Amino acid sequence: MKIAYLHFHLKAGGVTSVIKHQVQAVEPDNETLVISSSDKCTFCNGSAVCVPELGYDSDQEAPANALMLADKIQKAITDKWPSGCDVLHVHNPTLNKNSFLIDALSILQERGIRLFLQIHDFAEDGRPNAYYKDPYPENAHYGVINSRDYAVLLKAGLKEQGVHYVPNQVVPFPEWEVSNSGYILYPVRGIRRKNTGEAILLSLFSPKDHPIAVTLPPNSSWEKKIHSMWRNLIRDKRLNVHLDIGLNEDFETLVRTAYFIITTSVNEGFGFAFLEPWTALKNVFGRRIEHVCKDFEETGMIFNDFYSRILIPIDFFDMEKFCLRREELIVKFGRLYGVEPDKHRINRSSYQLSEKGLIDFGMLDEQSQKQVILNLADNEKKRNRIKAINPHLEKMRISKEDAEVINENRQVVVREYSRDKYRQRLLDVYNKVINVDVSHSINKKVVLESFFNPVTFCILRWPDV
């Protein structure tokens, strides 16, 4: 088969890693081409083409249009394969990072190019500034990385034969001699949805001889301000937390020596953090993300040391100010999506988040989280109250039973998320894209309602706009 992969860019990040794994999985007995706005590709073996017009709108130096973009993509393909490709595998086309891409794809489709459109991130799920007002491409095959998104697209009108669940490949850590002498490690970049405040909260209940450590800082300017707030709080209250240690210490050494791994993220697409650490022979503790864990549990994964929420008394922070902030954001984001939320319903939903005077810490904004941590940092009586409400916080210790679970989970990851399995899944999908015509379209209103819901709205899943 001749497979062309297309993305806005090949900058370091999750989607670029996925493309790399896909190219490596289907080679060497299939031909590949990678098309992006990047002028370098470290994994393409010379089979890469730079199309500058594919870049983000914000990076464009000269105006383009859909026809020009379609022509350049097609030329990149026919320069390598005069008869064209079998499949054009496009990553994240429904994110409005390039105003002309969707129309260009429709033009290519009309010219007979078979499209496979893989969605990693929905604009409707916390990315209002990347939302297309126009319809998404019709009569194309779509791919998703979790069963929740699969169900959303079916509900929105796509047919089963044209939607494909393609979980990512997981590359195991190397085999090494394990040590548990180091940090309780949160190996992430501290962006908003990773919920750094909760990692800091956990430090109030974790073993004192194992500080909690977050590896990398965020890149965006508004998230850096939040990160600085956390850094100042850690310094002022002398909390047992280290931020940004991955800037100066070797990542593999940090993982190899970690006491165990934590995750406090409130939202993930695939959820590498729930799989990768087991291959390093490390236990994982943290916040359960239902749609992610459900997929993995169906393959045999065991998540004993995970919690669905950390309940906090509402008198530990300014509940009224939190509700007003939440309501303001829901209205603002709703308007970006072209809807006007019911303010009365929003107000009611904010207060309904609490039950018996308790609310999940992960639902709070950072200012409210900071107030909670300040309330607890110097007050053992209040910390004991939180432990009584949330007995799972006592699980932040290594136990004898961990070794068996670690071994079982490692075997599942290596077996179910290997390159060989990934290759077979991809080739099966490509064969269907080539041989099965589909006639369907996405009802965007259904997709939006599946993700943007005032009742379940969580501030940490959304940008600060």
Neighbour-count burial of 454, counting CB atoms closer than 10 A to its CB (0-12 exposed, 13-18 middle, 19+ buried): buried
Judged against a pLDDT cut of 70, whether residue 62 lies above it is answered with no
Residue with tokens 């609310």: 359
Domain match, 71 and 151 both: yes
Judged against a pLDDT cut of 80, whether residue 465 lies above it is answered with no
Domain match, 434 and 357 both: no
Q: Is residue 57 part of a domain?
A: yes
Q: Is residue 455 part of a domain?
A: no
Phi-psi region of 34 (alpha: psi -120 to 50; beta: other; left: phi over 0): beta
Neighbour-count burial of 374, counting CB atoms closer than 10 A to its CB (0-12 exposed, 13-18 middle, 19+ buried): middle
Q: Of 254, 183, 202, 196, nearest to 230 (Cα)? A: 196
The share of the chain scoring above pLDDT 90, in percent, equals 87
Domain match, 248 and 352 both: no
Q: What are phi and psi of 205, to 5 degrees?
A: -125, 5
Domain match, 23 and 128 both: yes
What is the rounded average pLDDT of the residues 326-333? 94
Q: Is residue 237 part of a domain?
A: yes
Domain boundary among 373, 389, 405: 389
What CATH number does residue 20 fall under? 3.40.50.2000
What is the rounded average pLDDT of the residues 425-437? 98
3-state secondary structure of 32: strand
Domain match, 329 and 295 both: no
Neighbour-count burial of 202, counting CB atoms closer than 10 A to its CB (0-12 exposed, 13-18 middle, 19+ buried): buried
Judged against a pLDDT cut of 90, whether residue 219 lies above it is answered with yes
Judged against a pLDDT cut of 90, whether residue 43 lies above it is answered with no
Query: 357-385, pLDDT tens digit by residue?
Result: 999 999 999 999 999 999 999 999 999 99
Judged against a pLDDT cut of 90, whether residue 59 lies above it is answered with no
Beta strand segments in 48-183, E: 48-50, 87-91, 115-119, 141-144, 163-165
Rounded to whole angstroms, what are the CA distances from 215 to 183, 220, 229? 11, 16, 17
- Write down the pLDDT at residue 69: 96
Domain match, 202 and 280 both: yes
What residues make up the domain containing 24?
Answer: 2-168+418-448
Judged against a pLDDT cut of 90, whether residue 88 lies above it is answered with yes
Higher pLDDT: 132 or 178? It is 132
Rounded to whole angstroms, what are the CA distances from 123 to 131, 276, 464? 5, 26, 15
Judged against a pLDDT cut of 70, whether residue 63 lies above it is answered with no
233 near 166, Cβ under 8 Å? no
Query: 231-277, pLDDT tens digit by residue?
Result: 999 999 999 999 999 999 999 999 999 999 999 999 999 999 999 99
Domain match, 297 and 375 both: no
What is the rounded average pLDDT of the residues 203-228? 96
What is the rounded average pLDDT of the residues 295-324? 96
Q: Is residue 195 part of a domain?
A: yes
Comparing 284-298, 396-410, 444-458, which segment has the lowest mean pLDDT?
A: 396-410
Domain match, 21 and 146 both: yes
Helix (H) or strand (E) holding 376: helix 366-377
Judged against a pLDDT cut of 70, whether residue 420 lies above it is answered with yes
Q: Is residue 461 part of a domain?
A: no
200 near 373, Cβ under 8 Å? yes
Domain match, 339 and 193 both: no
Q: Is residue 160 part of a domain?
A: yes
Domain match, 326 and 338 both: yes
Q: Is residue 407 part of a domain?
A: yes
Domain match, 277 and 338 both: no
CA distance 195 to 384: 23
Domain match, 277 and 400 both: yes
Query: Residue 46: pLDDT band by 50, 70, 90 thresholds?
Result: confident
Query: Residue 188: pLDDT band by 50, 70, 90 thresholds?
Result: very high
| Overall number of domains in the chain | 3
Query: Residue 399: pLDDT band by 50, 70, 90 thresholds?
Result: confident
Q: Is residue 287 part of a domain?
A: yes
